[in-house]
Structure 1
Amino acid sequence: MRKFTFTEDRMSREVIATLTTLSNGFVSIRGDPEFAESKHGALVSGVYSSTPVFYRELVNLPRAHALYLELEGAPMVPEGVKYTLDIGGGFLEINATLSSPAGRVHYSSRRFVHRVLKGLVGIRASIRSLDASGRLCVKAPVELDTTNPSVPPEVSVKLYRVVSAECRDFPTLDVETADGRYRLRIVSLAKLPGGIGGGFYATSKHVGQAACVDVSPGTSLLVERYAVFSLEPEDALRQAREAASKGFEPLLEEHRELWEREWRELGLSVEGDEDFANALLLNTFHLLQVYNDESEVFILPARGLHGYQYRGHVFWDADIYALPFYLLFKPEAARKMLEYRCKNLDAAVENARRHGYEGAQYPCESADDGFEATPREIPLDLAGQRKLRILTGELEHHITADVAYAVDLYYRFTQDREFLERCGLRILVLTARFWVSRAQWDPARGRYVIRNVIGPDEYHVGVDNNFYTNVMAKHNL
């Protein structure tokens, strides 16, 4: 299976971090180097919070996988970073030379987001002094200053608060989303030079562990770093203890075996154009890794769990573009995507009522609760004097037919009568009722018309009889 290598002389770190994101469908970590500062923490599927402009968005949780190096009190910074994403084994390798006025070290790490222990992020780093001499300190903090970017760009919003923090066997924090709807436990564990733990430290922004050793040219060190995220406090502690007991290599081997089996069962082979094959396999990897087989509902945001672009909202793309992939290769994932639509059907009924229609109208953008999450307007300056009006939430109605199309496609492919009778048929009927109330009779044409919509291109507003919308509505009916 292919490996993908990226370097910062050819691509920005922000883009590389997206392409090298690791996830298991529950927790997700972007590919930013752990030794470099980053605004990105962790994303946990389904953990949203209320926010001023975008209603609800995925919470940028604390960054609990950083490893910072200081030599003789000066931060060590990268001279060049090489990223290697092994999609066959589902892990990321990072190699770099880190330097400070007191010398340089070679840094090499492997990282995984575990396929079995769903809350676990693991990193093992090998550090070798090239010409560095002096006191080398390794810090493993949980960074509590991560925020969600907002609009205008100068504004950011912190969407969680720390409820409790303690350092016994290892730093343990309970955090709660800003609206109080979700609470998570985060456990941080580092095996630093000198054994497990090192010294604990705390600042206004960090809680973590640190250890210092004297190094000279040729000195080698091994560091392991684990972070656990869980909605259940005792489960977080259990996973942390299991990680500490097993160690990095057995955990990585277990993780790799599951990924290798995943690819074997997928049975996907690509022949021909190399660029096409690379693109197909890389995107397949990302589609596979954002699915959590232990979840009851599969929430698939427009950007996956790879960042908070589009605020973690679910669009029609999930039903039309992504669901057919899962239907072919993981039908249970396709079903769980539709379970998300089932769970939020009552919200769709309420959405139709609010707009003066009957039946069920699925929102253009939705989060965990299924209500419309499209902002009505976006401020363009800090004073709020200039605003961009957003009409997609009010006029982009084809998504209702897109959901119905996905239900129909799923049933035709799987013949899953249990799903159809429990929920699918109700979606089909209620979405059809929406179109009955949405369409208008045009006596001049002698037919029904659908006026004043935004089609899937979103660049034309107030369109009458948009081709895609009409075709999908007809299919729904």
Structure 2
Amino acid sequence: MTGPTWEYDGYRPEEERLRESLCTLGNGYFATRGALPECTADDIHYPGTYVAGCYDRLTSEVAGRRVENEDMVNLPNWLPLRFRPAGGAWLTPDTAPVTEHHQILHLEPGLLERRTSYPLDGGATLHVRQLRLVHLGDPHLAALRTEFTVEGNGAHLDVESALDGRVTNSGVARYRELDGRHLTRIRTGIAAHGTVWLRCHTRTSSIECGLAARMTADAPVTTVPEPLRAVQHMRLRLVPGRTVTVDKTVALYTSHDPAIGDPLDAAVDHIVAAPGFDELLQTHATAWEQLWRRTVLEVPGEAGSILRLHLFHLLQTLSPHTADLDVGVPARGLHGESYRGHVFWDELFVLPYLNLHLPEVSRALLHYRHRRLEAACRAAGEIGRCGALYPWQSGSDGREETQQFHLNPRSGRWLPDNTRFQYHVGSAVAYNIWQYCEATRDIDFLHGEGAEMLLQIARFWADYAGYDARLSRYRIRGVVGPDEYHDAYPGAAAPGLDDNAYTNVTAAWVLARTLDLLSVLPEPRRQELLESAGLEEDELAEWEEISRSLHVPFHDGVISQFEGYDDLAELDWDDYRKRYDDIRRLDRILEAEGDTVNRYKASKQADVLMLGYLFSAPELRCLFHRLGYHLDERTWTATVDHYLHRTSHGSTLSGLVHGWVLTRARRADAWAFVQEALRGDIADLQGGTTGEGIHLGAMAGTLDLVQRGLTGLETRDGALCLDPVPLPELSSYGFALRYHGHWGVHLRLRSGRLEIAVPDSHGSPIDIRLGDRLVSVGPGETARLLVPE
């Protein structure tokens, strides 16, 4: 096997959780963490298998409170395959010495390889090599090949394979006080052709799961019935220098799957008909080859290697199979149980990349939001408002899944969780609708489901905004912004802040874009929408007024994060950096000291600066001009500098946004933040969080940094608009994208020249706007343009 790899050498127990996350294999339907098959869940290892959209809700007793949580379910473990010298102890790197241990993630074929050598009694050495895949072409199949070779003396080896139903959700230490026993009615059995099976249900959502496994080797296979495990045994005779191969193939279905009757019957039938490992590997590698061609990314050096890994994990979580599912963007991928597998606003950082590569996946992810529009409207009604209020954390049915309390592991105290007041998640949904439709020209979606969502999100903002006669402006009160550290005013009895700048500006944008859409809709469709929503023309006139007069606070020549921000105290950053090794989670540090970050000008992550992430400089100036404010380059630069020195970067998204903004505001400082975004997960910069699941938004955002951030690419007015900025550390790059029906449009920037190649087809030419130039590039043509200084 050749091509890019991600490798780990040596066995280090303290790194296992991180390696397991970063060596996860998936296909968009399900994913399995990169745990060793001979190891069970403990403080070192955590095998986990997760099916997209498979949730279950349980109630727990915590600190005298009844706490309800919905979790993405850890399903039965299909990996177990352990081995031992006949009559001896089972071998694992934790219980026996190893003379070699090497893990290789082969990115191009989507394959995990491991090599481990165990010394045996009598001077012999057992070499174990495994190849693992979760099939990208067939979303229900996974396979594990194990090769045993003995060196020195011969040996007899006992091998046990299992489907294990004894799993729980226990992969996140701070959640372990919560009930994680999601599986019930576990049954096992034997089917024809040497196949074993396991059936189970989730406890409250009643999702049925069926797994079937087939084990093949040059040795007799026996089955030992157990109530919670489907187990197969064999004894191998190992001759020095001769490799013995054991193949394990698994099929997985749930009752959510279409076009099946019983999930277990489907799994058994599928595994009986499944080809052998060699053919599965070939078809799996072919599926990956095709997907890589659709997502070509050419970045040299270490940055390119990391970006390739990020792209690999994005595609494993959100693959072409996702287009057939009712799922959102899980913030931690399908790689672990942090955030309980919930859907946040991370799609804001994911869909802009997918729009230009896998638009059918973007459309499906937006359908997830549309199917939950009714729930969002109910949520708005529950707080006395019209329109749609999307939840900060979403799961199966669209209700708010944000917990009422969260644990500060530093102090051991359970604290109120007010992140549910991040109502700006609705603006993120609207932004993604607009971006998707600009990139794809999907008029049917824009005029259909997209218009319905935009209308209700805009209606919520219009109804939530209140008029302040003193300011002669509208205000949005009682919310929490992207920063998350600030959730209340110092000493306030109730949570919420007034006039968060990001919230107000994006709300104005939603109102303006929705009005734009209503003005161009075919009249019959416009009438349908207004009738269905019960909207009158005078209400639309009010939307116009609000979109032009929402309040944005300023102080000392910079945009204020929220009204009253300037009254907060300055934090002694040098003192806290001196006293603590890592102050990213400054909120936990201050709470443990009996203080609160609400008293200080200190942010967890980009808040005001998110505006520079979403909108180009000209668009942002136009937004502020529409609101009656003058935003010049000096004000924006001062704003960037102000928050740059007052942010602890307690989120992996913070480095990404700062890197993006600084490439255009302060280029000399940009690379440090780009590196932080690139290394966030591979170096586990957030201190142990990556082992609980990757940060999918940050990974996708780094890809989009190359695709849109450095190129200034916008899909606007029917053209690809480009405004590249030279970043010395990333001065040469290329990528392919899908745009307006053209597959594989290739953009390459090198030595100050931009090359755009459109593949041959019967499609229409593509308009490229670079500065003041407008160039039309037809199918089969290549344009080479000099980038303006």
TM-score higher than 0.5: yes
**In 2, Cα distance between equivalents of 1:51 and 1:314:** 18
CA contact (8 A) 1:77 1:99 kept: no
Q: Match of 2:210?
A: 185
CA contact (8 A) 2:55 2:205 kept: no
Q: Match of 2:417?
A: 390
User: Which residue identity does 2:184 align to in structure 1?
Assistant: R
Q: Match of 2:402?
A: 374
Q: Match of 1:25?
A: 28
Q: The residue matched to 1:77 in structure 2 has which SS? A: coil
1:460–1:132 distance in 2 versus 1, CA, 3 Å: farther
Alignment of 1:20-419 (within 5 A): 20-38=23-41, 39-52=46-59, 53=67, 55-71=69-85, 72-78=87-93, 79=98, 80-99=100-119, 104-131=125-152, 133-149=154-170, 151-153=174-176, 157-169=180-192, 170-194=195-219, 198-215=221-238, 217-231=240-254, 232-243=263-274, 246-271=275-300, 274-294=301-321, 295-318=324-347, 320-378=348-406, 386-393=413-420, 395-419=421-445
C-alpha displacement of 1:77: 2.0
**In 2, Cα distance between equivalents of 1:81 and 1:308:** 27
Q: The residue matched to 1:129 in structure 2 has which SS? A: strand
Aligned length: 466
Q: TM (normalized to structure 2)?
A: 0.57
Q: The residue matched to 2:280 in structure 1 has which SS? A: helix
Of 485, 495, 505, the match for 1:471: 505
CA contact (8 A) 2:76 2:163 kept: yes
Higher strand share: 1
C-alpha displacement of 1:122: 0.4
Q: The residue matched to 1:423 in structure 2 has which SS? A: helix
1:402–1:365 distance in 2 versus 1, CA, 3 Å: same
CA contact (8 A) 1:162 1:175 kept: yes
1:449–1:14 distance in 2 versus 1, CA, 3 Å: same
CA contact (8 A) 2:58 2:68 kept: yes
Q: The residue matched to 1:300 in structure 2 has which SS? A: coil
Q: The residue matched to 1:194 in structure 2 has which SS? A: coil
C-alpha displacement of 1:207: 2.0
C-alpha displacement of 1:42: 1.2
Moved more, 416-425 or 127-136: 127-136
1:154–1:135 distance in 2 versus 1, CA, 3 Å: farther
Deviations 1:351-390 (A, max 9, x none): 1112222110000000121111111113679xxx952211
User: Which residue identity does 2:34 align to in structure 1?
Assistant: G
Deviations 1:314-372 (A, max 9, x none): 00011x10001100111111111101101111111111112222110000000121111
User: Which residue identity does 2:342 align to in structure 1?
Assistant: H
Larger relative contact order (C-alpha < 8 A, sep ≥ 6)?
1
The structure whose Rg is larger is 2
CA contact (8 A) 2:187 2:227 kept: no
CA contact (8 A) 2:163 2:197 kept: no
**In 2, Cα distance between equivalents of 1:132 and 1:434:** 75
C-alpha displacement of 1:54: 5.4
**In 2, Cα distance between equivalents of 1:93 and 1:83:** 6
C-alpha displacement of 1:153: 3.4
**In 2, Cα distance between equivalents of 1:431 and 1:81:** 53
Unaligned runs of 5+ in 2: 60-66, 255-262, 489-496, 512-789
C-alpha displacement of 1:289: 1.8
User: Which residue identity does 2:109 align to in structure 1?
Assistant: G
C-alpha displacement of 1:89: 0.8
Q: The residue matched to 1:365 in structure 2 has which SS? A: coil
**In 2, Cα distance between equivalents of 1:323 and 1:162:** 38
**In 1, Cα distance between equivalents of 2:25 and 2:468:** 52
Task: Compute the RMSD of aligned alpha carbons.
Answer: 2.1
Q: The residue matched to 1:234 in structure 2 has which SS? A: helix
Higher helix share: 2
**In 2, Cα distance between equivalents of 1:466 and 1:99:** 62
**Identical columns (%):** 30
User: Which residue identity does 2:112 align to in structure 1?
Assistant: L
